[in-house]
Amino acid sequence: MSKIIKNLKQFSTANERLEGAHLLCPGCAHSIIVRELVNCTDHNLVIANATGCMEVCTAVYPYTAWDTSWIHIGFENAATSAGAIAETYKVLERKGRLNKNAENTKVLAIGGDGATYDIGFQFLSGAVERGHDFTYVCLDNEVYANTGGQRSSSTPVGASTTTTPAGSQSIGNKTTKKDMIGIMAAHGAPYVAQVAPNKWKDMIMKFQKALEINGPTFVNAMSACTTEWRFPSHQTITVSDLATDSLAFPLYEIENGVYTINYRPKNIVPIKDYLAIQGRFKHLFKPGNEHIIEEWQKRVDKKWVQLQKMEEMTNS
């Protein structure tokens, strides 16, 4: 029962399922994304949340911000938990023990990039490979924000983090971001997509699709982090716009192997404009580091060409 949401006015009639007074930082994109996620559908939702900012800030006894069923077990096992809940649903339904009020339930897993790209990678791989009917949403802020800003395998080149601090001998993080979307697609997941909260319509369209499609679906959500990316809290949407318009986070989906680019910026913004607004990349603008930004631009351009080719190839 995904609802049809034609415009924002209509969307705004949704009754909230994530309450305020959670403890996420002012301006956090996590809760923008998750609000849109839980409010874009009428399905009952069971959420398995991995350890991370979203988890640690929404269920601190004696308060829960969740109006729907929610469980946090560990850092690494949100996908496993979601898969197991989906299997339980199946068994209880078959054995006639499912609550009447549980009809039309969808199972969601939520994790940060730490939980998804790193510590829970094997668990996610296992759960997707087994084909459980659930949707995994990664809140990708490219850093272990909850533990104080350490790099993850999603952290891009040149980001200064607390474990890859930029300094006289270091440009910050030296590795390129892991291609989680490609990896999930390679598992044969029927639906894989990337979203960003500033493009709310695209985002909820993909969330709805991911929830509706039977089997394991994966959505990587770009989540600008005011604290660790170091920008003022009111600029979350501005930074997100630069991320999508510079193609640092291209918005696309892969449905049964078929690529679709969902957003083609009218004016592609240079990557340096996206980097310049964030404190974590400040050092890249010092003399001598120009090449890092140039290489970055090349990488983005190349990925964009690749994506367009994949789209062409898989649609022909």
Ranges within 168-227 binding other proteins (CB under 8 A):
197, 200, 226
Q: Which stretch binds other proteins (CB under 8 A): 51-59, 154-162, 180-188, 279-287?
A: 51-59
Answer for which of 85, 225, 293, 310 binds other proteins (CB under 8 A) is: 85
Site for other proteins in 102-161 (CB under 8 A): 102, 105, 122-123, 125-127, 129-130
Q: How many angstroms separate the CA atoms of 215 and 242, rounded?
A: 33
Site for other proteins in 227-286 (CB under 8 A): 232-238
What are phi and psi for residue 57, nearest 5 degrees? Answer: -100, -5
User: Which amino acid belongs to residue 178?
Assistant: K
Q: Specify the residue, 204 or 210, whose C-beta has the smaller distance to other proteins.
A: 204
Q: Where are the alpha helices (DSSP H) in the chain?
A: 8-11, 29-39, 53-58, 78-94, 113, 121-130, 180-186, 200-212, 236-245, 271-276, 290-315
Answer for which of 88, 150, 262, 314 binds other proteins (CB under 8 A) is: 88
Q: Which two tokens stand for residue 25?
A: 């930082």
Give the number of residues in contact with other proteins, rule: CB under 8 A.
89
Q: Specify the residue, 54 or 171, whose C-beta has the smaller distance to other proteins.
A: 54
What does the per-residue mask of binding to other proteins show for 14-43, with x meaning CB under 8 A? xxxxxxxxxxx-xxxxxxx--xx-----x-
Residue 84: name the closest of 120, 122, 117, 48 by CA: 48
Residues near 269 by beta carbon (within 8 Å), at least 6 away in sequence: 242, 245, 246
CB 231 within 8 A of CB 239: yes
Answer for which of 52, 53, 54, 89 binds other proteins (CB under 8 A) is: 89
Should residue 4 be labelled a site residue for other proteins when binding is judged by CB under 8 A?
A: no
Q: In sequence order, what DSSP letters do the residues of 97-135 get, joined into one string? A: -S-GGGSSEEEEEEEEHIIIIIITHHHHHHHHHHT-S-E
Supply the minimum distance, in Å, between the C-beta of residue 128 and other proteins: 11
Q: Which stretch binds other proteins (CB under 8 A): 12-20, 166-174, 244-252, 274-282?
A: 12-20
